[in-house]
């Protein structure tokens, strides 16, 4: 074989390898609210119940740990996982004697399985990761996890955004300089979008291939209003909404997820009572009337993030469900005021997020939002907010786009 032919063959093979390496964009999984494992270590002097442990020798899994969500024991869980707000520093902290950490930075396992024992009830990104492995991906190499403290909003997650930028760059470099796909779910889509808005366009053009979004509440959700009012049982009959609410209302991320004034009109009634009808302009009065002053402060801290609707500056694949009953308004019977249990007036969405919020990404197609990066939406009938992660239609779509 002549040297010319050998040189041509080397160039041809190199071209094939380069094409293949660029064909598999490495994936970073960014979870939503409740989508990361959390670990706790205790050194408390006081507890809320005699059965609650004051100390622990080491860190233990606190989310998701079903053994801690049983009657009586759940009181300990609530007290350990709640946050305390300081309206001077405008920040939250864990209760005295409680240390919470997020395990497994960079490792996909803590976002594939919320329960470290890998029980099916804690399945999260695992089905998607399995589908990616089938087309050539490798965990901890081209499938990476980016967990964070989902109790908090962007204003208290600055370290996450700094670490995420480094993680993107390292993932890019260790995968033959292939640009990275951010695959996000629910609130993780808001975290990723905020992160992308912080980056120069030149950086995004080099390091980010695309943003694949599942069930992102781009404009917030009425579900957050419902949780502030009565709590949420996470779809489990064994949990009581009122008990869960004690912990849930202390989270700034819940205030961040309230409906955006960009997509809810000031004339729309969100909470209806015989004394007052609360609109999106009445959150301060509503929180005052419910005796949740810290919630209003957290809303003020996070409201600026709901008012920035600039496009993220990358290719977006916006996948969401519809045709599922989703709360649109809380209606209190005459005489019950805000301490009663409201009737939930329902509308369209994915069971958690309203359709107007899920589909808000489609506004980025308009020139007024700038950068002309493609936005592709995939509405899926009956794709529920959480189970969309295991929907075959989603798996087929993701594996298709990731091959190109």
- Active site members: 186, 350, 385
Where does the pLDDT of residue 371 fall: very low under 50, low under 70, confident under 90, or very high at 90 and above? low
Q: Write the CATH number for 128.
A: 3.40.50.1820
Asked whether the predicted pLDDT for residue 2 surpasses 90, the reply is no
Where does the pLDDT of residue 367 fall: very low under 50, low under 70, confident under 90, or very high at 90 and above? low
* pLDDT given at position 14: 37
- The b/e string for 190-208 (b: 16+ C-beta within 10 A; e otherwise) is bbbbbbbeebeeeebeebb
**Residue 200 belongs to some domain of the structure:** yes
Per-residue pLDDT reduced to its tens digit, 375-390: 999 999 999 999 999 9
**Residue 230 belongs to some domain of the structure:** yes
**Residue 108 belongs to some domain of the structure:** no
**Residue 64 belongs to some domain of the structure:** no
pLDDT, mean of residues 14-39: 75
**Residue 217 belongs to some domain of the structure:** yes
* pLDDT given at position 404: 78
Domain that holds residue 190: 123-402
Where does the pLDDT of residue 94 fall: very low under 50, low under 70, confident under 90, or very high at 90 and above? very high
* pLDDT given at position 238: 67
**Residue 60 belongs to some domain of the structure:** no
Could you give the CA distance from residue 165 to residue 179 in angstroms, rounded to a whole number?
13
Tokens matching residue 319: 């996948």
Number of domains the chain is built from:
1
- The b/e string for 268-292 (b: 16+ C-beta within 10 A; e otherwise) is ebbbbbeeeebbbebbeebbebbeb
Could you give the CA distance from residue 136 to residue 279 in angstroms, rounded to a whole number?
50
């Amino acid at each position: 074989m002549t040297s010319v032919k050998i040189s041509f063959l080397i160039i041809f093979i190199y071209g094939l390898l380069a094409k293949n390496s660029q064909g598999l964009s490495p994936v970073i999984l960014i979870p939503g609210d409740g989508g990361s494992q959390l670990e706790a270590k205790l050194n408390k002097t006081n507890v809320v119940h005699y059965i609650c442990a004051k100390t622990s020798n080491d860190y233990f899994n606190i989310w998701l740990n079903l053994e801690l969500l049983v009657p009586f024991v759940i009181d300990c869980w609530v007290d350990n996982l709640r946050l305390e707000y300081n309206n001077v520093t405008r920040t939250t902290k864990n209760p005295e004697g409680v240390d919470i950490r997020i395990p497994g930075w960079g490792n996909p396992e803590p976002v594939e399985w919320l329960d470290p024992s890998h029980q099916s009830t804690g399945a999260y990104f695992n089905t998607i990761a399995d589908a990616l492995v089938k087309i050539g991906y490798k965990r901890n190499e081209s499938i990476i996890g980016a967990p964070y403290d989902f109790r908090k909003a962007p204003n208290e997650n600055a370290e996450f955004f700094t670490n995420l930028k480094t993680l993107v760059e390292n993932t890019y470099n260790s995968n033959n300089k292939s640009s990275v796909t951010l695959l996000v779910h629910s609130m993780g889509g808001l975290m990723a979008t905020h992160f992308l808005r912080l980056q120069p366009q030149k950086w995004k053009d080099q390091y980010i291939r695309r943003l694949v979004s599942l069930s992102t509440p781009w404009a917030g959700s009425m579900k957050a209003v419902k949780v502030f009012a009565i709590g949420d049982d996470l779809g489990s009959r064994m949990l009581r909404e009122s008990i869960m609410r004690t912990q849930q209302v202390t989270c700034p991320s819940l205030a961040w997820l309230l409906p955006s004034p960009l997509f809810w009109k000031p004339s729309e009634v969100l909470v209806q009572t015989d004394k007052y009808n609360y609109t999106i302009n009445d959150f301060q009065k509503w929180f005052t009337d419910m005796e949740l002053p810290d919630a209003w402060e957290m809303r003020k801290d996070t409201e600026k993030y709901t008012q920035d609707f600039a496009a993220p500056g990358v290719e977006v694949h916006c996948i969401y469900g519809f045709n599922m009953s989703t709360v649109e308004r809380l209606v209190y019977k005459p005489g019950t005021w805000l301490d009663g249990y409201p009737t939930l007036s329902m509308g369209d969405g994915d069971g958690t997020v309203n359709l107007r919020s899920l589909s808000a990404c489609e506004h980025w197609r308009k020139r007024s939002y700038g950068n002309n990066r493609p936005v592709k939406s995939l509405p899926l009938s009956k794709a529920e907010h959480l189970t969309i992660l295991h929907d075959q239609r989603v798996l087929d779509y993701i594996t298709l786009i990731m091959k190109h």
